[in-house]
């Protein structure tokens, strides 16, 4: 089935994207235990930060149980083989935060922007390279644009020094066919490796990641037990089994990564399942942070929140446009009255 | 992506395969409520029986909260559009059970055999046709043989009068590539439609079902919230969203099927997640009923149960060979001593 056995690099983001499902309340000691188990299993990169990246710790994004520095300093000493990574969202994380992170042991920066805004990552990527770190570019909400747009933005990140660029399915809205089409095109436009980050809203986190690998992605993300916002991510331990099953070399021990999931499990606040709200977010292609605003708007205007999500998806609104939800709901309520009258 | 919009038939087996996760303890009244919600959503076929099919109610397979007849008679009157189905495993369910089922309202028989034993379904299929029922053939453990063997056995079922034959991934062990290869080959060998039944052990229940549809399957199974043994099935409400997303016509209302999942949810004993045992069953390709025997054998011989499962998978043992697990474990323990010595 495979021309050669592809080597796939696994980056685990339990201790970053999983923070959303923990209301950012992992303790540094818990992080160190999970990280040690991931390291022992052979995971290549372990991402540790507030769910919204360095400096996410705030009134707006949610207070965490510790600062990024405390988390990083707790995890760095337990890693024997894995590289420590931190997420940076330009606009939230600053150059100062990145300097702190390098001092605390970070070797990899994952720098994320909306899929049409790669240009805001230039300064952060430059600094990361300057400090000798590996740079991973993250193009979020890649389902909202066509493959040419993703490739254009990926090339920008490549030009800023990125060592890898990820196609990121932030809303769990992509289908395997779409993943293959987008990843293989981006792959053909870049000299650097392409990565894929999945969410499980439509039950496709593993299926889409395999599709990405089939299309040439060589770096993929997971979180233990799928820990993450809403429907969560590709469960790292399941991903390892699935990748081995299709003949990939992953450098991770299956028994030990399942053991790592066992270390995490008692820390979880709830089992990671696909609820109806997650399905709607994936189906509509809307970012999970819009959910609460949507419920409020639905109640205010007597609308079905599912209809609002569908309309937001059609209009392709992006993070930061939360206020716009009220406008959309108001407009929908007006139209409804006209139709009813 | 699609040449034409394919029409996909959804058969829901929450009230049959889901029975395993309920220790067969749904009450008839609960079944009626779930069935009414499935019917209202537009699901075409609703399967109702003991988890192991008609007459599964026994010491060996587990006592249910009611008899098949009580379940069927509770569900039949609430269906306005959907057809009532029952599972039959030849060797467990008899012709007499099938006659009772038809009197109780069954219009579809799903007749299941191990993928190499289609010949034992001839009599049951003949009787089902005689009674005017639709006949669905189920080839279980389809991951254990090659596509030619599946096609040969599917043709047998076709010759017995089956109206549909399913490729069944009983252990959740198949990959999307394998599903495509097997389903498209079987499809090319038959005049009747091909179905696909997934399990989620490797997180691929939805991904594999989409792969099956891409390869020409036009009938697919799901259970609300994925309710089923171990990692469970393809969640029907997620499947509907995913199929609509790739452009299929499914005849099921997305909001209403999510509502049906909400009806089921409070009846569930635990959230449906992928635990380590499920991963191992899928990875090794071993049927879930072997798990308890494997744990016992592991304890007895001081072995890692995961190693036993891997060995059982390599030897492709089938249902009914549970006693063989002790032999395998004994042999493994002997070899271990020799190596250690």
Of B72, B78, B30, give the one whose Cα is nearest residue B53. Answer: B72
User: Given this model, what pLDDT does residue B63 score?
Assistant: 87
User: Given this model, what pLDDT does residue A90 score?
Assistant: 96
Which of A265, A284, A301 terminates a domain? The answer is: A265
Tokens of B97: 């059970």
Spatial separation of the C-alpha atoms in residues B166 and B233, rounded to whole Å:
15
3 state SS of B222: strand
Please give the mean pLDDT across all residues of chain B.
95
Name the residue among A176, A239, A306 with its Cβ closest to that of B255. A306
Question: Does this model's pTM top 0.80?
Answer: yes
Q: Kindly state whether B274 is in contact with chain A, defined as any CB-CB distance less than 8 angstroms.
A: yes
For A169-199, the DSSP string reads: -TTS---HHHHHHHHHHHHHH-SS-EEEE-B
Annotated binding site of A for substrate: 16-17, 170, 197, 287
Which of A243, A265, A287 terminates a domain? The answer is: A265
- Give Cα separations from B147 to B144, B157, B313, B317 (angstroms): 10, 15, 18, 19
> Same domain for A245 and A332?
no
| Cβ contact, residue pair B1, A242, below 8 Å | no
- Give Cα separations from B118 to B47, B122, B139, B191 (angstroms): 21, 8, 7, 17
- Do A194 and A166 form a contact (C-beta atoms < 8 A)? yes
Q: Which chain A residue's Cα is nearest to B278? A: A238
Task: Judge whether A200 lies within some domain.
Answer: yes
Task: Judge whether B1 lies within some domain.
Answer: no
Domain with A202 in it: 7-265
- Mean pLDDT over residues B315-337, rounded? 86
> Same domain for B105 and B141?
yes
> Same domain for A246 and A209?
yes
> Same domain for B245 and B324?
no
| Cβ contact, residue pair B283, A235, below 8 Å | no
| Cβ contact, residue pair A244, B271, below 8 Å | no
> Same domain for B142 and B253?
yes
Annotated binding site of A for Mn(2+): 17, 197, 199
A24-54 tens-digit pLDDT: 999 999 999 999 999 999 999 999 999 999 9
ipTM of the complex: 0.95
B112-166 tens-digit pLDDT: 999 999 999 999 999 999 999 999 999 999 999 999 999 999 999 999 999 999 9
Q: Which chain B residue's Cα is nearest to A247? A: B175
Least confident of A98-102, A121-125, B275-279, B334-338: B334-338
> Same domain for A49 and A177?
yes
> Same domain for B224 and B184?
yes
Which of B245, B265, B285 terminates a domain? The answer is: B265
B191-238 tens-digit pLDDT: 999 999 999 999 999 999 999 999 999 999 999 999 999 899 999 999
> Same domain for A192 and A310?
no
> Same domain for B187 and B66?
yes
Task: Judge whether A313 lies within some domain.
Answer: yes
User: Given this model, what pLDDT does residue B321 score?
Assistant: 76
| Cβ contact, residue pair B205, A203, below 8 Å | yes
A291-340 tens-digit pLDDT: 989 999 999 999 999 999 999 999 987 766 778 899 999 999 999 877 65
Question: Residue B330's domain is classified under what CATH number?
Answer: 1.10.8.60
Task: Judge whether A2 lies within some domain.
Answer: no
Name the residue among A206, A239, A283 with its Cβ closest to that of B207. A206
Task: Judge whether A149 lies within some domain.
Answer: yes
Q: Which residues contact B312 (CB under 8 A, 6 or more apart)?
A: B284, B286, B290, B294, B325, B328
Alpha carbon of B97: minimum distance to chain A alpha carbons (Å): 37
What residues in A contact B285, CB-CB < 8 Å?
A: none
Question: Residue B176's domain is classified under what CATH number?
Answer: 3.20.20.70
> Same domain for B251 and B281?
no
Let me know if A293 is a catalytic residue.
Answer: no
According to DSSP, the residues that pair with A220 across neighbouring strands are: A10, A196
User: Given this model, what pLDDT does residue A340 score?
Assistant: 59
> Same domain for B146 and B11?
yes
Name the residue among A203, A238, A272 with its Cβ closest to that of B206. A203
Catalytic-labelled residue, pool A20, A114, A124, A143: A20
Interhelix angle A205-214/B205-214, rounded to 10 degrees, is 60
Task: Judge whether B271 lies within some domain.
Answer: no
CB atoms near residue A77 (< 10 Å): 11
The residue whose two tokens read 């395969």 is B17
Task: Judge whether A202 lies within some domain.
Answer: yes
Largest CA distance in chain A: 69
What residues in B contact A203, CB-CB < 8 Å?
A: 205-207, 234-235, 238-239, 242
| Cβ contact, residue pair B283, A246, below 8 Å | no
| Cβ contact, residue pair B234, A203, below 8 Å | yes
- How confident is residue A1, by pLDDT bands cut at 50, 70 and 90? very low
Give percent of chain B above pLDDT 70. Answer: 97
Q: Kindly state whether A266 is in contact with chain B, defined as any CB-CB distance less than 8 angstroms.
A: no
Question: DSSP assignment, residue B315?
Answer: T
Q: Kindly state whether A225 is in contact with chain B, defined as any CB-CB distance less than 8 angstroms.
A: yes
Query: Alpha helices, DSSP H only, in A106-235?
Result: 122-130, 147-159, 176-189, 205-214
With vertex at residue A199, the alpha carbon angle to CA A100 and CA B230, rounded to the nearest 5 degrees, is: 120
Q: Kindly state whether B271 is in contact with chain A, defined as any CB-CB distance less than 8 angstroms.
A: yes
User: Given this model, what pLDDT does residue B98 score?
Assistant: 98
Could you give the number of structural domains in chain A? Answer: 2
- Do B74 and B85 form a contact (C-beta atoms < 8 A)? no
- Give Cα separations from A30 to A24, A72, A230, A247, B339 (angstroms): 12, 12, 22, 33, 39
Name the residue among B176, B214, B235 with its Cβ closest to that of A274. B235
- How confident is residue A4, by pLDDT bands cut at 50, 70 and 90? low
Name the A residues in 232-261 with CB < 8 Å from any B CB: 234-235, 237-239, 241-242, 244-246, 254-255, 258, 261
- Do A216 and A194 form a contact (C-beta atoms < 8 A)? yes
Backbone angles phi, psi at B135, to 5 degrees: -120, 125
Name the residue among B202, B208, B237 with its Cβ closest to that of A241. B202
Q: Kindly state whether B214 is in contact with chain A, defined as any CB-CB distance less than 8 angstroms.
A: yes
3 state SS of B136: strand
Task: Judge whether A43 lies within some domain.
Answer: yes
A150-170 tens-digit pLDDT: 999 999 999 999 999 999 999
> Same domain for A164 and A19?
yes
User: Given this model, what pLDDT does residue A311 score?
Assistant: 94
Q: Is the pLDDT of residue A2 over 50?
A: no
């Amino acid at each position: 089935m495979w021309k050669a056995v592809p080597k796939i690099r696994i980056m685990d983001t339990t201790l970053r994207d999983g923070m959303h499902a923990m209301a950012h309340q992992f303790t540094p000691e818990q992080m160190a235990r999970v990280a040690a188990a991931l390291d022992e299993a052979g995971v290549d990169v372990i991402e540790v930060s507030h769910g919204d990246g360095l400096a996410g710790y705030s009134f707006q994004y949610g207070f965490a149980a510790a600062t990024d520095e405390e988390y990083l300093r707790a995890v760095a000493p337990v890693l024997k083989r894995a590289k420590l990574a931190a997420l940076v969202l330009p606009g939230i994380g600053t150059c100062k935060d990145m300097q702190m992170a390098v001092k605390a042991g970070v070797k990899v920066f994952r720098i994320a922007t909306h899929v049409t805004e790669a240009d805001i990552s230039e300064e952060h990527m430059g600094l990361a390279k300057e400090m000798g770190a590996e740079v991973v570019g993250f193009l979020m909400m890649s389902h909202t644009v066509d493959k040419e747009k993703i490739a254009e933005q990926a090339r920008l990140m490549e030009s800023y020094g990125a060592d890898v660029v990820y196609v990121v399915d932030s809303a769990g809205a992509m289908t395997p066919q779409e993943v293959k089409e987008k990843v293989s095109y981006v792959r053909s436009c870049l000299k650097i490796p392409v990565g894929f980050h999945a969410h499980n809203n439509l039950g496709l986190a593993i299926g889409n990641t395999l599709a990405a690998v089939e299309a040439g992605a060589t770096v993929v993300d997971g979180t233990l037990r799928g820990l993450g916002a809403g429907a969560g991510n590709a469960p790292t331990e399941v991903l390892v089994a699935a990748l081995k099953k299709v003949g990939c070399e992953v450098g991770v021990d299956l028994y030990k990564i399942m053991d790592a999931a066992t270390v995490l499990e008692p820390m979880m606040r709830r089992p990671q399942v696909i609820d109806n709200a997650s399905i709607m977010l994936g189906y509509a292609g809307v970012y999970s942070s819009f959910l609460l605003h949507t419920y409020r708007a639905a109640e205010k205007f007597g609308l079905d929140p599912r209809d609002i999500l569908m309309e937001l998806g059609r209009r392709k609104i992006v993070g930061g446009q939360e206020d716009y939800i009220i406008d959309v709901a108001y407009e929908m309520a007006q139209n409804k009255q006209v139709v009813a009258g």
